[in-house]
A and B are shown apart, each in its own frame.
Chain A
Amino acid sequence: MNGMTAVEKVLAAKSGKASVRPGDVVFPDPDYVMIHDGVVMGAKRELDALGINRLAAPDKVMMVSDHDVIYGSARAAERGAFNRAAARQWGVKNFYDVGRGGHGHIFPMESGLLLPGMFYFDNDRHATNAGAIGAFGFRIGAEISRVLATGTNWVQVPKSVKLTLQGRLKPGVYARDIGFHLAMLIKKKIFDVDIDYKVLEYAGDLDQFSLAARAALCSSPTEIQAYGVFVPPSDAILAHARAKAQRPFTPVYADANAHYEAEFTLDVSRLEPQIALPGGVQNAVNLSEAAGTAVDHAFIGSCGSGMWDDLVQAATVLKGRRIADGVRLFIAPGTEESTKRLSREGLMQVFIEAGAIMLPAGCGPCNDAVIGPVHNGETSISTATNNPSGRFGAREAKLYLGSPATVAASAVTGKITDPREFMMMETAL
C-alpha cells in the first residue's frame, strides 16, 4: 500500500481521516479562511441575498487589504468602506486592513500565523505560496462564501508530482529563475506532465532555499495551473516557524513510499539567469537571449518576489547606483514589517537614492495595475507573478519577467541586464 504525499497528509489530518487518496472528496476543517479586499463585496452581497448574516467561524477568518491599498479611485474608496463595514458586521477581528499587514500571501508566513502542516481556504489562487512554509492553501474562488458561511467546502484530493532539484544555484541565479525555467520545461513538454490541478512537491537539495526563495519556487508553477506547491520545511524553516509561531503546529512530510503522478529531476547548478518573454512565465529563455532590450517600466514585489530577501537582492544591485533616465522603478515590499525593516536597516535610503518609487506593502501593479500601470508601446521588466498581455494595463505593452536582481540591474542600465555584471564589477572593485 502506498504512503501519502505531504498534501495528502495535510488533507487527511484536517478532514479527520486516517488517509486520503487522490480523487477523494473531503471537507477539511481549515486553520484559516482568507479573503482579500477585491472579493469581500461579492461574498457579502451573495450571503446577504440569502439572508446568511453570520459566519461559521469569524475567528478563523483573515480579511486582507492588499490588492488595492492606495485607493486610486472613488470606487476603490467605496470598496474599502464596504469592507470595513463587512468586517464589523461579520465580527472579523483578524482584519489586516490598509497599513496593517501587507500581502496576504506573505505576512502570515513571515509573522508566524501560517505554519508548517496547516491548511487554509483562500479565494485567491496564489494561496499556493503556503507551500513555502510547508502548509497547503486551497484556492476556492467565489465559493469562499460557502466556507465563510459553513466553515468548509469540498476539496477533491489532488494528485502530486515530485520534482527533485539537484545541485546549488550559481551566484546571480535565484529561485525565481528556477520557476521560470520549470514553467518552460512543463509547457514545452520537456517534463511531460499535465500539471492542471496537481500539487508540485519539491525534493532534493532544498536547504539552500530561504523562505523567500521557497515562495519564489511556488510562484511560476501556480501560473501554469498547479493547484498547490509544497516545499518540505528545512531545519532553518522550522527554526523560523518555532521562533515566530503564534500557535502550536506539526510539520508534515511525505511518506517515503508516497505515490506521485510523475517524478522529475532538475540539475539547477548550471542554470543561467532567466527572462520570461512577454506572454507568460512559460516563455522563459536564458537572459542572454533578451539582454539589451530597452525598458521603460520596472517593478519589484508580488507573491513570488516580495519577501525580505528579495528586497535585499534588489538593494544589493541598487546600492550606490541610480536607475537610468526614462525608467520608472516601483518597489512594493510584501509586508509592513519589511517596510519598517527597510527603514531601520538603511535599505529604504538605497532605494530612494536610486530613484525608485516606494509603494505600500501589498500587490502593487501586479493586481491589474491599479497603481503603476504601463502605456501602449512601453516595455516593462518585473517580478510580477505573470506577464500575459494587459497584465499591467495597456495591451500593446511588452512585459518581461526576471528575478529581483535582474529587474534591479535592468532598471539601472535601462535595458535587460544580467545582474552578474554588477557582481563582477563589485569583485573587480
Chain B
Amino acid sequence: MTATDNIEWVLKGRCYKLGHDVPHPGGVVPNRIIIGRHFDPADIIPHLFEETDPGFHTRCKPGDIIVAGRNLGMGPKMNGYIAMQALGLGLVCESMPFLGYRAAVGCGLRVMSDCVNVLEFCETGDELEVDFRNGFFINHTRDIRREYPPLPDGLLEIVALGGNTGWLKKWWADQANERQQT
C-alpha cells in the first residue's frame, strides 16, 4: 500500500460550473480572506464563492466537481484551493496560471488543468465522474466522455498526502525510520 492508494482518485458528484476568467480574489474567495492571510480551512470554507453564490459551502457535497473555463484564479493564489480540498471537492478547468495549478497541487486538491473546451460538456447540476489519475471526464447526465491530461504521476503523492506539508511530514517520518533501521 503506497501513499497514492490512500485517496479516491475518481470523484463522482455534481457539476458546479464557473465561466472564463474567474479571478481568485472576489471570484473564488473575498479579497479580505486573502489579504487577511487566512489559511485555516475552517476560516475559509464559509467564504468560498461567497461573493457570487453565498452559502455555497452548505450546498456542496464531497465529490462535487468545480468546472471552470479559461484562466481560472488570477491574482494571489491558494486560499480558495485550501477550502475546496477540505470540502472534498475536485477542480477541472480549461486553463489556470501555472502558479495557481502549483498552489492547488500544494494544497492537496484533485485538479486537472488544460481540459480543452470542458465548459461545453457540462452544466451546473449534471452528474459527473472525473478520474484525476487517468484523465477521464464523464458527464453521465449528457452521456459525454472526454480524455484530458491527468495529474502527472510525480504529483500524485503530494495530493494523496493532503499537500506539501503532509508530503514533507511523511518524507521526514520515512527518513527517521530509515535512520532507525540503519
Measured CB to CB, the residues of A under 8 A from B are 23-27, 46-47, 50-52, 141, 143, 145-146, 149-150, 154, 156, 158, 196-197, 225, 227
B contact residues vs A (CB 8 Å cutoff)? 97-99, 102, 106, 149, 152-155, 158, 164-165, 167-169, 171-172
A314 to B171, CA, bound (A): 51
- CB of A25 within 8 A of CB of B97, answer no
What's the least CB distance linking A262 to chain B, in Å? 16
Q: Tell me the minimal C-beta distance from B76 to chain A in angstroms.
A: 12
CB distance from B158 to the nearest CB of A (A): 8
Known: A50-B165, A51-B172, A143-B164. Is A156-B152 also a contact (CB below 8 A)? yes
| Complex interface: chain B residues within 8 A of A46 (CB) | 165
Query: Is B171 touching A149 in the complex (CB atoms < 8 A)?
Result: yes
The answer to whether A141 and B99 touch across the interface, beta carbons within 8 angstroms, is yes
Contact B172 A50 (CB under 8 A): yes
Quick check: B154 and A25 within 8 Å, CB to CB?
A: yes
Q: Is the CB of A196 within 8 A of B168?
A: no
Q: Which of A25, A146, A225, A227 is in CB contact (< 8 Å) with B155?
A: A25
Distance of A396 Cα from B169 Cα, bound (Å):
45
* Smallest CB separation, B72 vs chain A (Å): 12
Closest to A227 in B: B98
The chain A residue with its CB closest to the CB of B105 is A154
Which residue of the partner chain, among B106, B154, B171, B172, contacts A143 with CB atoms under 8 Å? B106
Query: Once bound together, how far apart are the Cα atoms of A136 and B74, in whole Å?
Result: 25
Which residues of B are found within 8 Å of A196, using beta-carbon distances? 97-98
CB-CB under 8 A from B106, the residues of chain A are: 143
Chain A residue nearest to B158 in the complex (CB):
A154
- Whether B164 contacts A25 by the Cβ 8 Å rule is no
Closest Cβ neighbor of B152 among chain A residues: A25
Looking at the complex, which one of B97, B98, B149, B155 makes contact with A154 (CB distance below 8 Å)?
B155
CA distance A47 to B97 in the complex (A): 27
Contacts of A156 in B (CB 8 A): 98, 152
- In whole angstroms, what is the CA distance A146 to B172 when docked? 11
Q: Are B154 and A146 in contact (CB under 8 A)?
A: no
**Taking the nearest CB of chain A, how far is it from the CB of B164, in angstroms?**
6
How long is the Cα–Cα vector from A26 to B167 in the complex, in angstroms? 17
Query: For the complex, what is the distance from the CA of A50 to the CA of B167, rounded to whole Å?
Result: 11
- Interchain CB contact (< 8 A) of B97 among A26, A52, A197: A197
Q: Which residues of B contact A197 (CB under 8 A)?
A: 97-99
Q: How far is the CA of A50 from the CA of B172 in the complex (A)?
A: 8
**In the bound complex, do residue B169 and residue A50 qualify as a contact, i.e. CB atoms below 8 Å apart?**
yes
Q: Known contacts A143-B106, A196-B98; is A25 also within 8 Å of B168 by CB?
A: no
Q: Is A225 within 8 A of B168, CB to CB?
A: no
Q: Does the CB pair B171–A150 fall under 8 Å? A: yes
Complex CA distance for A27 and B158, rounded to whole angstroms:
14
The residue that A23 contacts in the complex, of B99, B149, B153, B167, with Cβ under 8 A, is B149
CB of B29, distance to nearest CB on chain A (Å)? 19
